[in-house]
Chains A and B, each alone.
Chain A
Amino acid sequence: MLLPPDPASSRWGGRFAAPVTYLVFGLVNILVFGLHAHGDAVFAFSPQFAKVSVPNLSLPAVATCFVCGGITIALAIVRLLDVTGRLRLGKVTRRVMIGLVLFLFVIALLAWAYAGQAIPFNVVNLLSGTLNVSIPIMLGALTGVVCSTSGVINIAIEGQLLLGAFCAAIATSVTGSLWLGLVCGALAGSLVAVLLGVFTISYLVDQIVLGVVLNTLVLGLTGYLYNAIMVPYGDTLNNPSTFGPWKVPGLGDIPIIGPVFFDSTVFLYLTYLLLAIVQIGLFRTRWGLRTRAIGEHPLAADTVGIRVIAMRYRNVILAGLIAGIGGAYFTIGSVGAFGPDMSSGEGYIALAAMIFGRYTPFGAIAAALLFGFTTQLQSILSSINVPIQSNLLLLTPYVVTIIVVAGLVGKVRGPRAEGVPFVKS
């Protein structure tokens, strides 16, 4: 191989980006939050009217910010030693460090924002809200993982979410059955997947291009049908009921964990289930091994008798069901009525979460939760008078993604044959 080495690894930006980013976070914790905080911040850990209540925690804001900043800077130094070769850290340790830096940043932010506020900051509301807000992103990202692992780039997640939301709303309004709406939403997701499959697997259209076009098509189609039939016949076509929360008996009463993880709509439990299915399926079954094979080296898979094209079709369509369920959450899981462009780009976020999570189910879910967390944090902080513009808060997750994708993670390698159509010769 005469090719020169990959330039990304030899440039300074690639190596020192991580420690420098940590350092910036640490300095923000101290100089921005620490020096401008006054009084104590109170954290509450149980929802209102809980059976078992956990006592509130009161922290002095200034000291908290300084401690968070100090630890972050210490982490930056450790990472610097790792980069220069004085210290060897494992992959897991590095990732834990990323998580820790972000966690400390959030603590400092909250301590600063809630210092001297009359209402305590409710941690349970933040966390359970995060989980619920993230449902479409998590399911979309899982869809992306399955498709990418099979060697098909799915940019049409956005379209799948939107059509899922639309069809779930119509089906529930017409039949009155929430479960039928859920099924129709899922099927709508796989309908988009069928189009994706026909055009990219059979007709070899570029997958990124077609994904973007399918999103435009669904956006236009749902917007058109909304104005053409949903607005004039709103009572019969766009008036669905929604799934109510269901508390898991026993588990739901555990302090902190219960209200966060086990007191929600069926969509959250479906997300747990689908995460488990995808994780076990991909890494513990014959189907998973074959799926990874057709994504990495379809020719080799074909040689040993795996039907690559049929398998890609099946995986893309099955994965479409997952995104369709995620889309149904928008209407029959939370808001009820359908509105144009309801998914507001969350499919693209799911895509970013998938790459951010390095094409693994758990990684994708974790990244999706990060996005949901910032959205939820923003909506909570905007309810108290924090002197941060809500728009600036809203753009932080996107900046963080760029930083993470560029600086902390570097080049993420997807499945080798991802995006390359397979032609049996």
Chain B
Amino acid sequence: MTTPPAAEPAATPPPEADKERDSSKNKSFGIILRESFLEGNTFTITVLALVTATVLGGILCAFTNATVLHAPTAGAMISRAWDVASGTYVALFQGSVFNPHTVAELFQQASLPTAIHDGYLSAVFQPLSETAVQATPLILTGLAVALPYQAGLFNIGGQGQFIGGAILAAWLGYDLSLPFFVHVVVCVIGGFVGGAVIGWLTGEIKARTGAHEVIVTIMLNYVMQYLLAYLLSSQSLLQAPGSPNPITPPIASNAHLPLIAGSNLRINVGFLIAIGCAFGIWWLLNRTTTGFEFRSVGANSSAARVAGVKVERSWVLVMLIGGGLAGLAGASVIQGTDFTLNPQSYGTYGIDAITVALLGLGRPGGVVAAGLLFGALHAGSPGMQTVTSTPVQIVQVLQALIVMFVAAPPLIRAIFRLRAARASGVSATMSKGWNA
């Protein structure tokens, strides 16, 4: 087993960087701060990647807009392009974080208590609530990618695992009648189990036969997609009785995830579950033996095997937990917002999850931040489309651009003329192929 010599190019810092760091002892704090920024650490790179992606996205929406393209002069074209691009981003912001009009309306009301009672205060927090709601499944599926990633597995199967969880959560939700709290817990556990089964299958197949997990997860995505379509089109299975559409009966109201901030806002306990899971995964990875084994398998599976780690067991376990997290995402959508399962329920979470995990650099805290950012984009996009008639797919373009630039720190350094410095970003942690 010889490892190719060129396997980890970015792992060792170039000698110049060492020299600079040694000489920095004599410099003032301001200069150190400025240099550490110019060195291009992970934070700087991520921010600049966001800026680059935003600029490119803005250019894209400006120069596909009819009013811009039909501008009479070049000057008018540029000013209109600016209006379109900034308008798009302002609308995205207003739909996902804060809309000043809602505050103005709150204070225009005659008395504050009645205004709060009439829902004007909720309207102020409505964008943030939507961001949290959209972020919930993104964080959970992002964790489902990030955890196996730490053990060296690339889980593209978020979609299949999501469907597995959603099926079980929806079925338990409408078929049982249990008291309020019990029913919620039963369905959430069901969601975890449903996803975990699909994830376990992937891990087991890989551990037993060596089949590559990327292929198996892609195939399982399709299997689950068609299985769901089958279940939803059979009256004796999941389809709502008497309904011509592929949809399950609505789940019992006892199984709805409890709302956190009043009946006007959709933010629910699912968001807290997602944050809790992120913390749990952080704890698992950094504070337990199992987590250490996962990371050692991810760093070098041969070395881990020699050191006595059961590599196959780690693969199975990590996919099982990862699948369970994606299944929880399914449960959070079914019990938190949709309340019924249909073929649109799984959306694009499988692919979005990968971008979330990559932007979060595979770490639980990063996944939460990335999930919130992309959740904000998702929350703001419908409003943006109605206000500026920019199609919602711009969000997907932005997501992909952000991840592309975050994954290529050398490119960002080249664009912004930053000095090459310590290894950072995704490329340093992983550059291995199928055979690794």
**Residues of A that sit less than 8 Å from B by CB:** 1-4, 6-8, 11, 13-14, 17, 153, 155, 198-199, 203-210, 212-217, 219-221, 223-229, 232, 297-299, 340, 345, 348, 351-352, 355, 389, 391-392, 394-395, 398-399, 401-402, 405-407, 410-414, 416-423, 425
Quick check: which of B13-21, B38-46, B74-82, B210-218 contacts chain A, the rest being far away? B210-218
Q: Are B433 and A410 in contact (CB under 8 A)?
A: no
- Mind listing 23 A-B residue pairs with CB under 8 Å? A13-B208, A203-B408, A204-B431, A206-B407, A206-B431, A214-B400, A216-B354, A216-B355, A216-B396, A220-B395, A223-B391, A227-B393, A298-B6, A299-B5, A391-B230, A405-B209, A405-B211, A405-B215, A406-B211, A419-B433, A420-B4, A420-B7, A425-B5
Assembled-state Cα–Cα distance A11/B394 (Å): 49
Stretch at the interface among B59-67, B188-196, B260-268: B59-67
CB of B90 closer than 8 Å to a CB of A? no
In the bound complex, residues from chain A placing their C-beta under 8 Å from that of B6 are 298-299, 420-423, 425
CB nearest neighbor in B for A394: B226
With contact pairs A209-B426, A224-B60, A414-B435 given, residues A204 and B400 touching in the complex (Cβ less than 8 Å):
no
Q: Which residues of A contact B156 (CB under 8 A)?
A: 212
Given A220-B394, A402-B211, A351 and B218 contact (CB-CB distance below 8 Å): yes
Query: Hey, which chain B residues are within 8 Å of A13, CB to CB?
Result: 208-209
Q: Which residue of B lies closest to A355 (CB)?
A: B215
In this assembly, does B31 line the interface, its C-beta being within 8 Å of a C-beta of chain A? no
Proximity bits, B56-100, A CB within 8 Å = 1, else 0: 000011001110000000000000000000000000000000000
Q: Which residues between 314 and 360 of chain B lie within 8 Å of chain A, taking CB atoms? A: 351, 354-355, 358
Whole-angstrom CA separation of A410 from B205 in the bound complex = 10
Tell me the bound Cα distance from A298 to B7 in angstroms: 11
B10 within 8 A of A: yes
**Contacts A392-B230, A420-B431 given: A204-B10 contact, CB under 8 Å?**
yes
B253 CB–A CB distance under 8 Å: no
Q: Decide if B233 is an interface residue (CB 8 Å cutoff).
A: yes
Note all chain A residues with C-beta closer than 8 A to B209. Answer: 8, 13-14, 17, 405-407, 410-411
B407 touches A153 (CB 8 A): no
Most chain A beta carbons < 10 A, residue from B156, B233, B312, B408: B408
Contacts of A407 in B (CB 8 A): 209
Beta-carbon contact of A11 and B208 below 8 Å: yes
A64–B179 Cα distance when bound, in Å, is 56
Which residue on A lies nearest to B154, using beta carbons?
A208
Most chain B CB within 10 A, of A7, A206, A229, A425, is at: A206
In the assembled complex, the Cα of A6 lies from the Cα of B311 at a distance in Å of 11
A235 to chain B, nearest CB (A): 15
Across the interface, B65 reaches (CB within 8 A) one of A228, A297, A406, namely: A228
* Chain B residue total in the interface (Cβ 8 A): 70
The 9 closest A-B pairs by CB, nearest first: A419-B433, A220-B396, A217-B400, A227-B391, A411-B210, A395-B226, A223-B393, A391-B230, A224-B393
The reply to whether A213 and B433 contact each other, CB–CB distance below 8 Å, is: no
When the two chains form their complex, are residues B208 and A14 in contact, meaning their CB atoms are under 8 A apart?
yes
CB-CB < 8 A to B216: which residues of A?
402, 405-406
Take A199-B407, A216-B399, A299-B6 as given contacts and tell me if A421 and B431 are in contact as well, using a CB distance cutoff of 8 Å.
yes
Residues of A within 8 A of B401 (CB): 217
Q: How far is the CB of B232 from chain A (nearest CB, A)?
A: 9
Contact assessment for A204 and B4 in the assembled complex, using a CB-CB cutoff below 8 Å: no
Could you tell me which B residues sit within 8 Å of A by CB distance? 1, 4-7, 9-10, 60-61, 64-66, 154, 156, 205, 207-212, 214-216, 218-220, 222-223, 225-227, 229-230, 233-234, 302, 305-306, 312, 351, 354-355, 358, 390-391, 393-401, 403-404, 407-408, 410-411, 426-427, 430-436
B219–A398 CB distance below 8 A:
yes
In the docked arrangement, what's the CA distance between A402 and B398, Å? Answer: 34
Task: Give the complex CA separation of A401 and B434 in angstroms.
Answer: 17
A411 touches B407 (CB 8 A): no
Contacts of A225 in B (CB 8 A): 64
How many Å lie between the Cα of A281 and that of B358 in the bound state?
37
**Listed residue (B1, B306, B351) with the most chain A CB atoms within 10 angstroms of its CB:** B351
Q: Say whether B432 contacts A420, CB under 8 Å.
A: yes
Main secondary structure of the interface of B (DSSP, over half): helix
Give chain B residues whose Cβ lies under 8 Å from the Cβ of A8. 208-210
Nearest CB to that of A392 among chain B residues?
B230
Complex Cα–Cα for A17 and B411 (A) = 47
- Chain A residues contacting B436 (CB-CB under 8 Å) are 419
Interface centre among A229, A402, A419 (most CB of B within 10 A): A402
Residues of B within 8 A of A402 (CB): 205, 211, 216, 219-220, 223
Q: Which residues of A contact B354 (CB under 8 A)?
A: 209, 212-213, 216
Contact (A223, B396) CB under 8 Å given A394-B226, A422-B6:
yes
A412 to B206, CA, bound (A): 12
Given A206-B407, A228-B390, also A418-B435 (CB < 8 A): yes
Residues of B contacting A394 in the complex (Cβ-Cβ under 8 angstroms) = 226
Bound complex: CA A247 to CA B324 (Å): 54
Residues in B neighbouring A155, C-beta threshold 8 A: 214
**Which residues on the B side are within 8 Å of A423 (C-beta)?**
6, 9
Nearest residue (CB) in B for A409 is B211
Asked if residues A6 and B210 are in contact (CB atoms below 8 Å), the reply is yes
Interface pair A420/B433, CB less than 8 Å apart: yes
Q: How far is the CA of A219 from the CA of B399 in the complex (A)?
A: 11
Known: A3-B305, A395-B223. A224 touches B397 (CB 8 A): yes
- Contact partners of A2 in chain B: CB under 8 A: 306
**Do the beta carbons of B426 and A205 come within 8 Å of each other?**
yes
Contact A205 B407 (CB under 8 A): yes
CB distance from B276 to the nearest CB of A (A): 27
* B219 lies within 8 A of A414 (CB): no
B155 nearest CB across to chain A (Å): 11
Rounded to whole angstroms, the CA-CA distance of A13 and B410 in the bound complex is 45
Q: Taking CB as reference atom, which chain A residue is nearest B407?
A: A205
The answer to whether A153 and B312 touch (CB under 8 A), given A13-B209, A209-B407, is: no
A73 to B256, CA, bound (A): 51
Q: A13 to B210: give the CA distance in the assembly, Å.
A: 11
- In the assembled complex, the Cα of A4 lies from the Cα of B302 at a distance in Å of 9
Cβ distance A371 to chain B, nearest Cβ, rounded Å: 11
Q: Which residue of B lies closest to A391 (CB)?
A: B230
Which residue of B is nearest A220, CB measured?
Answer: B396
**Closest residue of chain B to A399, judged by CB?**
B223
- Closest-CB distance, B302 to chain A (whole angstroms): 6
Chain A's closest residue to B207 (CB) is: A7
- Alpha-carbon gap, A220 to B60, bound state (A): 12
Verify B305–A410 contact, CB threshold 8 A. no
Q: With contacts A214-B404, A220-B394, A411-B211 known, what are 16 further pairs, Cβ within 8 A?
A: A13-B208, A209-B407, A210-B404, A224-B64, A224-B397, A298-B6, A355-B215, A395-B227, A398-B219, A406-B209, A416-B4, A416-B435, A419-B433, A419-B435, A420-B432, A421-B6
User: Shortest CB–CB separation between residue A340 and chain B, in angstroms?
Assistant: 8
Inter-subunit contact A389/B435 (CB<8 Å): no
Chain B contacts of A17 at CB under 8 A? 209
Alpha-carbon gap, A221 to B400, bound state (A): 10
Among A198, A205, A206, A422, the one with the most B-chain Cβ atoms within 10 Å of its Cβ is: A205
Q: Quick one: which of A213, A232, A410 contacts B407, CB cutoff 8 A?
A: A213
Give the residues in chain B near A213, CB-CB below 8 Å.
354-355, 358, 400, 403-404, 407
